[in-house]
Amino acid sequence: MATEKEARMRMLKEFDETNAGVKGLVDLGLQKIPEIFVSPLDEFGREPELRQSVQVPVIDIGDMGNPERRNWIVEQVRMASEAFGFFQVVNHGIPRAVLDGMIGGVHGFMDLDVQEKRKYYTRDVRRAVRYTSSYDLYTARTASWRDTLSVLCLGPDPIDPDELPGCSRCEVENDIVGSLTNSVMLEKKNSILPVRHYIYRLVE
């Protein structure tokens, strides 16, 4: 007779081997959330404290070359990192069209036919294009109810176009991941990489 741990591992593998992610379950008309996604009761020992006044830290990184501004930004990053662990950056110089293209590309990919998405479902972190669900699926106490699309296009080597979903090689107006990747690659040198390098230097 299978132990509880073995039974859970079997359910995890069955889900993972569908290569369809959480959205695949939803598209099948799921009526009940699978047990692997349900948090144990002991995690609900007390009601979370709601603090309506808390806001996500917003840091203006405009005029990055000014030494005085840099010192101020460093301090803002330090405080936000210590208090929240994350922050929002404004005046970063990345065009709105690029940001919208990235969001639209992900939405478009998630709406693709499941058979097309399965080609990119993997846990191989070396893959330039990865579609997966719960990075820590086999180690976390509860699986995350979300899917993730990762396109590694900011590395030293340009992404191979053949690794992108077929639709991304269509015309720009109609592609999916292409709208994400092409926009990022066009702006990589002019805006995104400088912002990334600047943020990295701030938190060193």
According to DSSP, the β-strands at 58-60 and 88-90 are parallel
Q: Write out pLDDT tens, residues 91-138.
A: 887 788 877 877 888 888 888 889 989 989 999 988 888 899 998 999
**48 DSSP assignment:** P
Tell me which range, 25-39, 86-100, 156-170, 183-197, is most confidently predicted by mean pLDDT.
25-39
Has residue 9 got a pLDDT over 90? yes
What letter would DSSP give residue 32?
A: S
Q: Which two tokens stand for residue 52?
A: 């309506």
Burial class (CB in 10 A: 0-12, 13-18, 19+), 9: middle
Q: What is the pTM of this model?
A: 0.68
Mind listing the pLDDT tens digit for each residue in 46-77?
A: 666 666 777 889 999 888 778 888 888 888 98
